[in-house]
Every structure is written in C-alpha cells, then in structure tokens.
Structure 1
Amino acid sequence: MSASNLPVGPTRPTSPTQPTRSARPVRPAGYALVRAGRVSFLVHRRTALVVAGLVLLLAAAGVAYLCVGERFTAPSEVLKVLLTDERLPARYAVEELRWPRLVTGLAAGAAFGVAGALIQTVARNPLASPDVIGISQGAGAVTVAAMTFGLASYTVLPYVSIAGGLLAAGLVYAFAWRGGLHATRFVLIGIGFAVALRSLTHLVMTKGDYLVAQQAQIWMTGSLNGRGWEESLPLRVTLLALLPAVLWAARAQRTVSLDDDTATALGVRLGRVRLGLVTVGVVLASVATGVAGPVDFVALLAPQIARRCTRTAQIPLLCSALAGALIVVLADLLARRLFSPTELPVGVLTAAVGAPYLIWLIMRSRGVGGRS
C-alpha cells in the first residue's frame, strides 16, 4: 500500500494559536498570596513575622516605659489612667510625664529608622547614615545657632532643623557628584562635613550665654527629657504629612536598588527618584533631630537590623521604623533608670551601642572588599 492510499483520520491542530489551559502565576518562594475581595497581593512571610515580633516587643517596651519611674506603677493602674478620668495618684506621672515622652520617642525613632533606610538605599552603603554623613550635624548646627542667639522659639526649632539638614545634604550631594553618585565618595565627603559642622556648632556655643550653651550641650547628646505634647507636635505633624511620600518611597526604592543600566532600561529616572528619596530621608532625620536632638546611630542601626532579620534585597521601611522606635524607647528607659537618680541623655546609650557596631561594620567592609 502506498502512502497516498493510507486512511486519513482526524488530526489535532498544531497552530501556535491553539488555545491552551491558562497556567497559574508563579508565586515567588517565601511569599504568601493574600486576598481581600477582588484585590490580591504578595506578602513576604519572614517580613510579616518580623513585623509582628517587633510590634510585640514595642508593646512590651511601651508598657514597661509607662510603669517604670521613681515610683513603680502597676500596668492595671496605667490602663486606668489612660482610659478613664478617675483621679488616681499616678495620673500626673503617667499622663503628664511618661506618656508624652514615650510618644515622642516612638515618633523620633521611627523617623530616624526610615531616614536611615532611605539614605542607605540611595547610597548603597550601610555606612550612609544621617548622623554619619553630616545631615544631623547640619540640622544641629543651625538649631544650636537659633537657640544660642534666640532666633526661634522651641516649638519652631524642628522646622529650623529641617532647613539645616537640607542645606547640609545639598552640600554633601553637590561635592560628591562627579557625573554620578559614587557611594564611597558620598560617605567620605559626608564624614568630612560632619566633623566640620560639629566643630562649627561648638564654636557657636562659645559665643552665647552660659546657661543657653549648657542646654544646647545637653540637647546635642540627644535627650527626651521634658518633651511634652507641644514640643513633639512638629514631629507628629511632619510624619503625618510625609506618610504618602513614605508610601511612594517604599515602592520607589525597589527600582533604585537595581543597577543603573537595568533601571534606566526600565524607564526609571534615577536622578529624580534618588533626589526624592534623599529629600524625604533628610526631612525626617532633621525634624527628629530638632525635637529629640541628634540621637546618634539609631538611623545607622535600625535599617541594618531590619534587613538582617527579614533577609530581603531591599531595606524594609516598616521594619526599619519599628526597629528605630524600639531602640529609642529601650535606650531612654535604660537612660532614666540605669544610674538613678541621675538621668542620662538617650543619645549616650545609643552611642555606646552604635559606636562598636560602626567599627565592626567598617572592619567587615574592609575585609570583604580587600581595601578600605
């Protein structure tokens, strides 16, 4: 039988346009799909667990902060003070002294944590912290000058700090720019500006009144002592106003973390995105400095703690904010009671922890890279 005489049966279409069964989208490893009605999104499991753990630790630290003082207050009595209008003996200590100070510490720590995460993301260097590259020192220099010469009231000082931080960041950015933003050059120039601005701050302090200079010296170490609702209002207002910008930054930092060629090929305007991220970080760090003083190393520690706990490619902003708030609250609690009745500034405790970490980080970077 010839091939032409073979029976011809029905054949399956082999056209590339043949409809096939739709495949399910591939879910990245380590992510969970969360559905809320018609909206679905991916959640990194480890990050969600870290956020939950930090929230629990922060709640426990907050309860301890409200209970511990010159006189211990039971947690049940603290709840009565916060939730009722009963005239209780602990009302003044809890409601007028500890509660406003706790809220100020939470807000300042969160601002420092997010600011450090954004600036480290743009510089691609864990050493690029606002208190290392001169931003906090710029805010501090302008603020101390305003305090020393009586140019602004205390409630206006946080806004003055924003101007000083933006000025310092602009100078560092301008001097570090050479056809691009090189991470090492950015950090080294920032360190140089930090030293110069700190020296300028001390020079300004010698020109003013002795009592004002003493207050400025305490403020420069970073302190939450005497911070009430009125003093923390600029920080709370700024955090609320910048919330949309922070949400944008959480999305924009993903593209900045890519290499320049890939990001440019995707149509990302790196210059504008980096400038926006740096601006948000500088404003947050500056206004927190204006309220609580330059609390050193919080912006350096919090993003690295968040990144090492979550093990993500980008620094998670929410975890950085929670870690920064936890660091400030715990440090201030220890500063109040460690050498009681003497009260230490919170910046002393954070510097005692952050300085060894900075030395370790520099030594580790040198060992990995083979050079400094």
Structure 2
Amino acid sequence: MSLPLSGYSVARFGPASFLVHRRSVAVAAALLVLLSGAVVASLCLGQSTVSPASVLDVLLGRPSPDQLVVGELRLPRVTAGLLVGLALGLAGALIQTVARNPLASPDVIGVSHGASAVVVGLMAFGYVQTARQVPWVAVAGGLAAGLLVYLLAWRRGMHAQRFVLVGIGISIALSSLTSLFLTKGDGLQAQQAKVWMTGSLNGAGFDQSTWLAWVLLASVPAVLWAARAQRSISFDDSTAVGLGLRLNRIRLGMALLGIVLASCATGAAGPVDFVALMAPQIAVRLVRGAQLPLFCSALTGAVVVVLADLLARRLLAPVELPVGVVTALVGAPYLMWLLIRSRRGGS
C-alpha cells in the first residue's frame, strides 16, 4: 500500500527515514515562537514588572537585581507549567488516538480522577505528608484508574464509544470517592488536599520540574514509536488484522504511555483539567492533518498552561487563581461545544 506524499517530505537520518508533514513543521515553529513569548511574558509580568533585558540576564546567569523575583519565584513556576502542559498535551493526543474520539482525555476517562482520589485519600488521612511523595502516589493512582478503564472497556477488542463511556463512569465514581475522603479525613490535611485538587502552580519548584523533565525525556523513544504507530492504528480493525498488525498491543502501549504522562503531570501540579482535551484538537485543526500531531499537541498544551497561569496570576491581581480554574473556565464550554457538535454530526 502506498501513502500519498502530497504535503510530505522525506527526512533521512542515516539508515532511517521518516515522513515529515511540512505544515506540521511550520505550525510547530509558530507554536515554539508563541510559547517563547508566553514564557517571557510570564517571567516579566507579576506584582512587579521586570524588563525582558533583566529576564535575559537572569537566564544567562548574569548579575541582576531581579534575581530573586525571576530566578527564585517565577522561573520555577513557569518551568513547571511548561512541562506539565507538554505532558498533558501529549497524553491527550495519545488517549484520543487510541479511543478515536475527541471527547477522550485523561481527565474525562478517569486517569486524573484516579490520581486525585489516591493522593487526596492518603493526604487526608495523613499518609502523604511531603510534596516529594505526591508524584509517586499520583502515578500509581492514575495507572490503576487507566488500566481499570481499559480492562472494563475491553470486550473482544477496544470499542471507542465503550472506552469513553466506561471512563466517564469511572470518573464519576472516583470523584465521589474523593469527596468521601475529604469529609472523613483530618481537617487540616483535607484542606491541603483541597488546595492541591484545584490544580495550582503556586509554589511549584524545580523539584517537580526536574523529575517531570526526566520522565518526558525518557518517553521520547516511546513517543517516536507512537508517532509511527499512528498510521497503523488509523486503519479499521479488519484491515489492520489483514495486514498482520498487532493492533491491540499498539493500542495498549499508546494508552499506557498517555496514562503515565497524564499521571506524572497531575502529580506535579494537581489535576489541571481540560488541557489534555483541548490541546490535541486545537493542534489538529492548525495542522489540518488526518492524524493527531503528537509534537504539536504537546506544544499546544504547553502554550495553554503557561498562558492560563499568566491569566491566573494577573486576572484578579493581587489575588492569584489556581491555573486549573482558568483552564476549566475555557475547557468546560469547549467540552459542551464538542458534545453539541458530535450530536449534530450523528443526527
């Protein structure tokens, strides 16, 4: 079977060769420029305004009177937001590819709720007492919830609609369980858990950023494999089986990768909802491709989180909103629009 090469170029790296979508490269370059501008704006703007030249001095390690504000307060927060956005955007693209449904995302199918339920439960009852414990607990909870959804949705294969419906049911159950933990746990610990559940980058440091950066770096080979596997997963099941493709293994691998990335992002900043839902759909409309662009989805997620955090800090200044509140204000209407659009498409 030959693939149409209109709009594509062939990139060769030694013996390996890859198809490169030219519009995707242009969109990725534009997103990188936009992300750079958003990062600079976040470093410059706050309760005190810092000039871009002073920000550059801090980034280059030069002496600057704004070292405390930029280097110690804003830079760790912006770095954490950027990495969380990358992970969520990529996770959303992977989950939506597996489910073949724009409504599927880690926060809709229960992954984020699973991470939240386990973290809040252990935090409310005093078992999690340090910030360093949260990421590992969140990853365990997200993995458990994601695998439960996958197993319950499995019935002689993976059906997209069943996958989403089971995920929504698990999400509702886990949300109820989280509320139960909050009412039964220690008052002070439960209050800290509520703050974490809002999805905030306030106080985020390089501790969260460092391990999340290592997770993203370690996932690069798996992401490259997933980008290549997207072509095979786009076939219907009968065609894939006829071509000898191990479709179920491919789906499981991509789903696991998306679940791990979403759980790690939740552990770093709490549940920042709707980013993983919106970013892949924004990216695919910019690229105008047949498949969800993984790299552009990751960049879009980073842009969304960094800009949302900037709005969260400046919208009601000097009061700071959690970034999850801002993304929810944008994402909830977007989800309703998707539901209305899919209903009209099915009628």
- CA RMSD of the aligned region, Å? 1.7
Aligned counterparts of 1:357 and 1:281: Cα–Cα separation in 2: 21
1:117 equivalent among 93, 106, 128:
93
The sequence identity of aligned pairs, in percent, is: 61
Task: Please say if residues 148 and 209 of structure 1, whose CA atoms lie closer than 8 Å, have aligned partners that are also in contact.
Answer: yes
Conservation of the 8 A alpha-carbon contact between 2:126 and 2:189:
no
Aligned counterparts of 1:26 and 1:162: Cα–Cα separation in 2: 38
Distance 1:248 1:296 in 2: 27
Partner of 1:209: 186
Cα deviation for residue 233 of structure 1 reads 2.8
Paired AA for residue 249 in structure 1: A
How big is the shift at 1:32?
3.2
Task: State the distance in 1 between where 2:72 and 2:237 align.
Answer: 51
Deviation at 1:34, TM superposition (A): 4.8
**Alignment match, 2:109:** 133
How high is the TM-score relative to the length of structure 2?
0.95
SS at match of 2:184: coil
Which residue matches 2:68?
A: 92
Change over 3 Å in CA distance of 1:82–1:125 after alignment to 2: same
Give the deviation of 1:85 after TM superposition: 3.9
Task: Quote how far apart the aligned CAs of 1:199 are.
Answer: 1.1
Q: Which runs of 5+ in 1 are unaligned?
A: 1-24
The alignment status of 1:324 with 2:332, answered yes or no, reads no
2:142 counterpart residue number: 165
Q: Which runs of 5+ in 2 are unaligned?
A: none
1:341 corresponding residue in structure 2: 318
Cα distance 1:264–1:344, how it changes in 2: closer, same or farther (>3 A)? same
Structure showing the higher helix proportion among its residues: 2
Equivalence for 1:8: none
Which is further off, 316-325 or 181-190?
181-190
Deviation at 1:156, TM superposition (A): 2.2
Residue identity opposite 1:222 in structure 2: G
| Paired amino acid for 2:97 | T
- Deviation of 1:232 after TM superposition, in Å, equals 2.8
TM alignment of 1:289-308, pairs within 5 A: 289-308=266-285
1:183 aligns with 2:147: no
CA drift of 1:157 comes to 1.3
Structure number with larger C-alpha Rg:
1
SS of 1:206 mapped into structure 2: helix
Q: Are the equivalent residues in 2 in contact too, given 1:158–1:234 (CA < 8 A)?
A: no
**Equivalent position to 2:82, from 106, 127, 141:** 106
* Residue 43 of structure 1, CA deviation: 2.3
Distance 2:191 2:112 in 1: 19
- 27 and 177 in structure 1: CA distance in 2 versus 1, 3 angstrom threshold: closer
Q: Please say if residues 120 and 178 of structure 2, whose CA atoms lie closer than 8 Å, have aligned partners that are also in contact.
A: yes
TM-score for both structures, normalised by structure 1: 0.89
Partner Cα separation in structure 1 for residue 3 and residue 138 of structure 2: 48
Deviation at 1:37, TM superposition (A): 7.6
1:187 deviation in Å? Answer: 0.8
Q: Note if 1:358 corresponds to 2:335.
A: yes
Is 1:281 equivalent to 2:267 in the alignment? no
Find the counterpart in structure 1 of residue 38 from structure 2: 61
Q: 1:32 aligns to what SS in structure 2?
A: strand
